[in-house]
Structure 1
Amino acid sequence: MKPDQPSQGNRASTVLGRRLGGELLKLRLEAGLTQGQAAQALSASTAKVAKMESGWVPMRDPDIRALCDRYGVTDLDLIKHLLTLADRDRDRRKVRGWWNQYPELRTLVEYVALEDVATSVRTWQLAFVPGLFQTPDYARALAVGSADWEDPDEIERFVEAKIARQSRLTGDVPLEIWAIVAEAALRQLVGGRSVMRAQLSHLLKTARLPNVKLQVMPSLAGAHPGMTSSFNVVSFTDPGAMDVVYMDTTSSTLWLESEKDATHHNTLFGRIARLSMAQHDSRALIESIREEI
């Protein structure tokens, strides 16, 4: 089975590139211009402007200055801000991370790249233990159960890559992660009883890390605002990089990158957290489920 690859441009877009492209798009619309008119200012194709506004290509300083001039932008601080974003974005794209060695990650590769440079992640999971907390056997059982793989070697490489992500939980600057997991996901016997017991033991161990906050949404909570779907909110320290919302569905990967979407999902996460069990009580429930299994 061939891995899925991004279909736009020659590079995977970055969070900074998308942020920069979004700001240029906003300026163009405020100026009342089309992509074709913007392309004329660059002596380039409309396709190039479309890729720039989507964050799929790195941007040159002369192009940014030319577009600002065409859009009537005279605010020197704003122009400096855009140039700084472009410089940071170009530096970020030069990095070849370990994840590039794993085509088996498929569309997950861009998320892993963002996770690698993130400051914190808030994750709400309805159906399974978050990837950063999974054991190899649990991750393997999930991959087999998904029926998306034909080659066992691909599954092993995929599991290897998922486990490699967990290095972000330790080190000099560990990722801050706040995870909320539905109780039903902890009771699902993924891989059988022995695999699930080991997974819950590993989850309890991981939950004791100082940079990890883990809560469980109890089944007794009844209806709650997180029942529709799982999602991750990824945060960064880079200037101008707003939170990114990541959602993985059965047929596609969804990125939400507007300030409105980020605010909505952060608020939603807060509501889910308030309805979930406290960390101490969550660990006690996980231990109880492990003993039952």
Structure 2
Amino acid sequence: MNQRAQHGNRVSTVLGRKLGNELLRLRDAAGRTQQQAAEALSATATKVVKMERGWVPIRDPDIRALCDFYGLHDPAAVTSLLNLAKLDRERRKAKGWWQQLPKAGALSEYIAMEDVASQVRTWQLAFVPGLFQTAAYARALAVGEGAWDDPDEVERAVNARLQRQRRLHEEVPLHVYAVVWEAALRQVVGGRRVMRAQLDRLREVAELATVRLQVLPFQAGAHACAASSFTIISFTEDEAADVVHTDTIGSTVWAENEEDSSKYRTFFDRTARQALAQSDSLSLIDGIRKEF
């Protein structure tokens, strides 16, 4: 787990850091130090650090006091910060099922964000997206990864993957835009029978109105997203910027500001334009299935 994930309930991290960044911007503009801000709150500088990094919920009186100290007297701007703080506090109270996952680490951080997201855009180089995986496929991946020694832990990990998929069928469903490299569909995970069932599942989810699935074929050649897989997570709140999640072998990388997330959106859009249309993608999936 990365160091940032150890602070607070990560369900609210997007809004919390957004609020903290706004307070930091106001403090810098006012030419105040963290120690001076702490004195205005009758608190410690450590508290101000935690507030500005989004590690703790922030009370309305503290926001009002800081706004006054920083010279922000616009009622609409102050109200916007108060509303953001309220949303953040509500999110921190949420207790997600994913917190009970074995050895979840940064995965629980990702699931917490996905659970409150409105849309995810995912680019996958090596595997079928988790939201589309069958139990057998997910199980074969978990065993191959070797992160869990206990078979019961493997099953809990598989069940967690399936539980995430409920968001595709909720009253307000998660919208998913997935672009998958052809190699991910040809890589034999769990055997030929497992792959046939997995490709059938891809056809099923592609029929959902909230799912867009495209395949980037080998013949597309060089593309903008060759370096790594990633997922862009979007939220309904205007205050919450997109967050980008990238997993490497040894670590998890988060891009959490508008400048970085905009770059990933550009990369994703470029690669999606090179990918097959959904109808052609399904035809390619059918052809690969016949080979299995």
- TM-score where L is the length of structure 2: 0.94
- Aligned residue for 2:6, secondary structure, equals coil
| Structure-1 residue corresponding to 2:92 | 93
Q: CA deviation at 1:209?
A: 0.9
User: Does the Cα contact within 8 Å between 2:2 and 2:252 map onto a contact in 1?
Assistant: no
Residues 286 and 225 (structure 1 numbering): CA distance in 2 closer, same or farther, change over 3 Å? same
Q: Would you say how many aligned residue pairs link Structure 1 and Structure 2?
A: 291
- Aligned residue for 1:70, secondary structure, equals helix
| Structure-1 residue corresponding to 2:222 | 223
Q: CA deviation at 1:242?
A: 1.4
The farther-off stretch of 15-24 and 35-44 is 35-44
For residues 60 and 109 of structure 1, what CA distance do their matches in structure 2 show?
A: 26
For residues 60 and 100 of structure 2, what CA distance do their matches in structure 1 show?
A: 31
| Structure-2 residue corresponding to 1:162 | 161
- Aligned residue for 1:179, secondary structure, equals strand
Q: CA deviation at 1:182?
A: 0.4
User: Does the Cα contact within 8 Å between 1:180 and 1:273 map onto a contact in 2?
Assistant: yes
Q: CA deviation at 1:216?
A: 0.3
For residues 183 and 14 of structure 1, what CA distance do their matches in structure 2 show?
A: 34
What is the letter of the counterpart of residue 7 of structure 2? G
Q: Which runs of 5+ in 1 are unaligned?
A: none
| Structure-2 residue corresponding to 1:248 | 247
**1:48-59 → structure 2 map (5 Å cutoff):** 48-59=47-58
What is the letter of the counterpart of residue 285 of structure 1? L
| Structure-1 residue corresponding to 2:272 | 273
Q: Percent identity?
A: 59
| Structure-1 residue corresponding to 2:210 | 211
What is the letter of the counterpart of residue 142 of structure 1? L
| Structure-2 residue corresponding to 1:17 | 16
- TM-score where L is the length of structure 1: 0.94
**1:31-70 → structure 2 map (5 Å cutoff):** 31-70=30-69
Residues 186 and 166 (structure 1 numbering): CA distance in 2 closer, same or farther, change over 3 Å? same
Q: CA deviation at 1:155?
A: 1.3
The farther-off stretch of 139-148 and 281-290 is 139-148
For residues 4 and 137 of structure 1, what CA distance do their matches in structure 2 show?
A: 30
- Aligned residue for 1:105, secondary structure, equals coil
Residues 7 and 176 (structure 1 numbering): CA distance in 2 closer, same or farther, change over 3 Å? closer
For residues 65 and 96 of structure 2, what CA distance do their matches in structure 1 show?
A: 33
For residues 203 and 105 of structure 1, what CA distance do their matches in structure 2 show?
A: 26
In the TM superposition, structure 1's runs of 4+ consecutive aligned residues that sit over 4 Å from their partners are 3-7
What is the letter of the counterpart of residue 37 of structure 1? Q
What is the letter of the counterpart of residue 224 of structure 1? H
Q: CA deviation at 1:34?
A: 2.7
Q: CA deviation at 1:214?
A: 0.1
What is the letter of the counterpart of residue 230 of structure 1? S
User: Does the Cα contact within 8 Å between 2:5 and 2:106 map onto a contact in 1?
Assistant: no
Q: CA deviation at 1:4?
A: 8.3
User: Does the Cα contact within 8 Å between 1:236 and 1:243 map onto a contact in 2?
Assistant: yes
Offset from partner CA, 1:254-281 (integer Å, 9 cap, x none) = 1111111121111111101100000000
Q: CA deviation at 1:32?
A: 2.5
What is the letter of the counterpart of residue 131 of structure 1? G
Q: CA deviation at 1:29?
A: 1.9
- Aligned residue for 1:118, secondary structure, equals coil
- Aligned residue for 2:9, secondary structure, equals coil
Residues 193 and 4 (structure 1 numbering): CA distance in 2 closer, same or farther, change over 3 Å? farther
For residues 39 and 186 of structure 1, what CA distance do their matches in structure 2 show?
A: 55
The farther-off stretch of 141-150 and 28-37 is 28-37
- Aligned residue for 1:246, secondary structure, equals strand
What is the letter of the counterpart of residue 183 of structure 1? E
User: Does the Cα contact within 8 Å between 1:5 and 1:107 map onto a contact in 2?
Assistant: no
Q: CA deviation at 1:98?
A: 2.2
| Structure-2 residue corresponding to 1:137 | 136
User: Does the Cα contact within 8 Å between 1:118 and 1:234 map onto a contact in 2?
Assistant: yes
The farther-off stretch of 262-271 and 129-138 is 262-271
- Aligned residue for 2:73, secondary structure, equals coil
For residues 217 and 35 of structure 1, what CA distance do their matches in structure 2 show?
A: 49
What is the letter of the counterpart of residue 266 of structure 2? T
For residues 115 and 155 of structure 1, what CA distance do their matches in structure 2 show?
A: 21
Q: Which runs of 5+ in 2 are unaligned?
A: none
What is the letter of the counterpart of residue 65 of structure 1? R
